[in-house]
Chain A
């Protein structure tokens, strides 16, 4: 297996094409333009591949919904403000049970914010984002290797559960380069009965989310809810780092988790026993694993590049069994590991 050095945005594009993605639509927005450009160049070279530069993010998400309905593996990408625009379509895809991968290379917000790396879209990503009772699976890679692996996994998960899946990364991960190895994707499993390709001589089908009869709509909602329960039970992923004998556990994901790791490394040299719990799936949140940890650790520090969003999930998971501190850097500010280590050390020395 050959290692290659690629930037995060390009890795997502290449992993998607290798995973069999054959339709991409997107609209330029920093800091994910390289992904759109990569797809423009390489999707058209892939057999049967289609790239459309759409007139808007709204159009892009609906284009992939259409292509997904035909049975193709599909992807779109954007950054925070553009992901807001896609929510109508994501809700619609969830309702119509259309698989698809949506990449959010987060930037500072709210509003136009800035183009620096940020984690302010956690609520939007994990709570569904659009209207109605639905969820999207959310993968939060922290390394370039994970960008490659999780992008491929996202397509499988989207097919398996017939649901939109989000890759939630940030501007730093999009630009960063690291050596990676592309794994061989598993063969695709997606039954033809879910594809809309013209009825031929058979019975015509329709795909819809509109159910005017409330009892039908209620049943549809419960059907989706049961699916989300299965996902919650089977699909949580997390990394546990340095937890043996930890007196304090930092909970962080994505880039924030890597900064935390850097800080932990520094503090370990000073004899501080600090571990890291890194959710890899943000929805479903690895709630039970985190709660189990509270049996032996009583001090948790949530670190996010936001004003505290995942914090709520950590509170829900720990249910008051442990003390929780929070450190946030919203708006595109990214601390160095040294800066964050100072914050952690102060709290570590104050702990119960």
Chain B
């Protein structure tokens, strides 16, 4: 098994946290994993992205040739990365702010209005966790329990109550994707 995902969006949308929390839960689940963020001047323009590769064996390259998943939190991300996604790959779109759709017809698209869902939960900042709920449900790379545990570990030092909000956000995203 080898799963590769690109998370991309505006700086401040918590895109890097999406990657690190997935990487952490993959590690806790016993997989090999590599997380690679875009860094430096590239980030200064206000966009952020990261790649996570998860596998049963040693990860050869941290640079993902053809990611199976693209999680686009804004329109520029969709346009930047849709051409890189593997044939018949899966794209998750933050449909709260992305009205466009991929130009490739082989991709499966899940539109998740994670911004709106987060707003309904009373905290727009957890849109990323909503999206992770949807992603984990569909990809099944790690169990929801393992993911939430990692999320809590990563956010550990932050305010209490955050864990509860995150749980709710994750569940909302998870349930949004129908089996």
> Which A residues contact B (CB, under 8 angstroms)?
3, 5, 30-31, 115, 144, 171-172, 175-179, 255, 258-259, 261-265, 334-339
A338 pairs with B62, CB closer than 8 A: no
A115 to B39, CA, bound (A): 9
A31 pairs with B40, CB closer than 8 A: yes
Indicate whether B23 reaches chain A with its CB closer than 8 angstroms. Answer: yes
The B62-91 residues at the A interface (CB cut-off 8 A) are 62-66
A261 pairs with B37, CB closer than 8 A: no
B62 pairs with A176, CB closer than 8 A: yes
The B32-66 residues at the A interface (CB cut-off 8 A) are 32-37, 39-41, 59-66
Determine the chain A residues whose CB is within 8 A of the CB of B39 once the complex forms.
30-31, 115, 171, 175
Determine the chain B residues whose CB is within 8 A of the CB of A255 once the complex forms.
62
A5 pairs with B20, CB closer than 8 A: yes
A177 pairs with B65, CB closer than 8 A: no
A176 pairs with B34, CB closer than 8 A: yes
A263 to B41, CA, bound (A): 29
Indicate whether B24 reaches chain A with its CB closer than 8 angstroms. Answer: yes
Q: A5-B20, A176-B35, A178-B33 are in contact. Are A262 and B65 (CB under 8 A)?
A: yes
- Among B36, B40, B61, the one with the most A-chain Cβ atoms within 10 Å of its Cβ is B61
A177 pairs with B61, CB closer than 8 A: no
Determine the chain A residues whose CB is within 8 A of the CB of B35 once the complex forms.
5, 176-178
B27 pairs with A337, CB closer than 8 A: no
Contact pick for B61, options A115, A171, A259, CB 8 Å:
A259
A264 to B65, CA, bound (A): 13
B40 pairs with A336, CB closer than 8 A: no
Contact pick for A172, options B41, B59, B60, B62, CB 8 Å:
B62
Determine the chain B residues whose CB is within 8 A of the CB of A175 once the complex forms.
36-37, 39
A3 to B32, CA, bound (A): 11
A339 to B65, CA, bound (A): 8
A3 to B24, CA, bound (A): 10
A337 pairs with B65, CB closer than 8 A: yes
Give 21 CB contacts A-B under 8 Å.
A3-B27, A5-B24, A30-B40, A31-B39, A115-B40, A176-B36, A176-B62, A178-B33, A178-B34, A178-B35, A258-B62, A262-B65, A264-B60, A336-B63, A336-B64, A336-B65, A337-B60, A337-B61, A337-B65, A338-B65, A339-B65
Determine the chain A residues whose CB is within 8 A of the CB of B60 once the complex forms.
258-259, 261-262, 264-265, 337
A334 pairs with B27, CB closer than 8 A: no
Q: A5-B20, A176-B35, A178-B33 are in contact. Are A336 and B61 (CB under 8 A)?
A: yes
B63 pairs with A259, CB closer than 8 A: yes
Determine the chain B residues whose CB is within 8 A of the CB of A337 once the complex forms.
60-61, 63, 65
Q: A5-B23, A337-B60 are in contact. Are A172 and B65 (CB under 8 A)?
A: no
A334 to B27, CA, bound (A): 26
Residue of A nearest to B27 (CB): A179
Residue of A nearest to B24 (CB): A5
Determine the chain B residues whose CB is within 8 A of the CB of A259 once the complex forms.
60-61, 63
Q: What's the least CB distance linking A35 to chain B, in Å?
A: 13
A258 to B64, CA, bound (A): 11
Q: What's the least CB distance linking B54 to chain A, in Å?
A: 11
Residue of B nearest to A258 (CB): B61
Determine the chain B residues whose CB is within 8 A of the CB of A177 once the complex forms.
20, 23, 34-36
Residue of B nearest to A178 (CB): B34
Residue of B nearest to A265 (CB): B60
Q: What's the least CB distance linking A295 to chain B, in Å?
A: 27
Determine the chain A residues whose CB is within 8 A of the CB of B33 once the complex forms.
5, 178-179
The B118-155 residues at the A interface (CB cut-off 8 A) are none
Q: What's the least CB distance linking A314 to chain B, in Å?
A: 21
Residue of A nearest to B57 (CB): A265
Beyond A172-B36, A176-B62, A334-B63, 14 additional contacts (C-beta under 8 Å) are: A5-B20, A5-B24, A5-B33, A31-B40, A115-B40, A172-B62, A175-B39, A176-B35, A177-B20, A177-B34, A178-B34, A178-B59, A179-B33, A335-B63
A283 to B16, CA, bound (A): 36
The B13-32 residues at the A interface (CB cut-off 8 A) are 20, 23-24, 27, 32
Determine the chain A residues whose CB is within 8 A of the CB of B63 once the complex forms.
172, 259, 262, 334-337
Determine the chain B residues whose CB is within 8 A of the CB of A5 once the complex forms.
20, 23-24, 27, 33, 35
- Among B20, B35, B60, B62, the one with the most A-chain Cβ atoms within 10 Å of its Cβ is B62
- Among B33, B36, B66, the one with the most A-chain Cβ atoms within 10 Å of its Cβ is B36
A179 to B24, CA, bound (A): 8
A281 to B65, CA, bound (A): 28
Determine the chain A residues whose CB is within 8 A of the CB of B64 once the complex forms.
336
Q: What's the least CB distance linking B45 to chain A, in Å?
A: 14
